[in-house]
Amino acid sequence: MQFSTVTLAALVGLASAQTVHVVSVSTSNNSLIFTPDNIAVPAGDFVQFQFRAGNHSVVQSNFDNPCTPIANNVANTTGVFSGYQPVAAGASTNSIPAWTIAIANTNPIWLYCSQAKHCQAGMSMVINENTTANATRSLANYKVGAAAAAANVAPGSAASTSGSTSSTSGSSSSTTSSSSSSSSTTTATTGGASGLVISTSLMGLVGFAAALLSL
């Protein structure tokens, strides 16, 4: 992978090693995919979604109800929602939106894009698939369910991320530092408690990551 992982420790000077796992949302030619779409993330690490093109979102569902917010099906669970992140055509990779969540445990987190019929078209993924726990709950089966879903349902609002959206202008490397100190902000997932939104920002982490990976 071109953008695989960078260590948050390296980015913000933390003493302990916490890894940021990068997921590209769409591609520069606006393909309806997440890349990679099946990642194993230890508890305590972060996943950063970098929005490459188009106007996409990241929404949490449960396995059984793809393309529908988890809040609609699981009691007392808000789920994570990035909000829609439009990217101007030709945007520099240094100024695309990046949205980061902390992973609290290794329970599977099922995600999709709620735009138009992107979920049905293949824009879905999983963090911590666990087919040992239940062989049916594979990403392949989730995608089968997504393709057959009657509707693609958006969360009612971006309220699940309120309080954790940081400035979208003028922020670059400093955003990561400030977001680490704001990790006491909104807990995006209650009940399931699997994700904590750290920040939504425009940032130049792509260049940053490339610089680190070349060390």
Ligand X SMILES: *[C@@H]1O[C@H](CO)[C@@H](O)[C@H](O)[C@H]1NC(C)=O
The CB-of-123 to ligand X minimum distance in angstroms stands at 13
Residue closer to Cu ion, measured from CB, 52 or 56: 56
Residue 130 touching ligand X (CB under 6 A) = yes
**Cα–Cα distance for residue pair 50/5, rounded to 1 Å:** 13
Residue 134 touching ligand X (CB under 6 A) = yes
- On whether the CB atoms of residues 79 and 108 are closer than 8 A, the answer is no
Instruction: Tokens 């594979």: give the residue.
Output: 138
**Cα–Cα distance for residue pair 178/69, rounded to 1 Å:** 29
**Cα–Cα distance for residue pair 96/103, rounded to 1 Å:** 22
The CB-of-183 to ligand X minimum distance in angstroms stands at 22
Among 15, 90, 132, 150, binds ligand X (CB under 6 A): 132
Task: Give the one entry of ligand X, Cu ion, none that residue 95 binds, where binding means its C-beta sits below a cut-off of 5 to 8 angstroms depending on kind.
Answer: none
Residue 73: other Cβ atoms inside 10 A: 13
Residues of this chain that interact with ligand X (CB under 6 A) are 27, 29, 31, 55, 63-64, 75-76, 84, 86, 106, 115, 128, 130, 132-134, 136-137
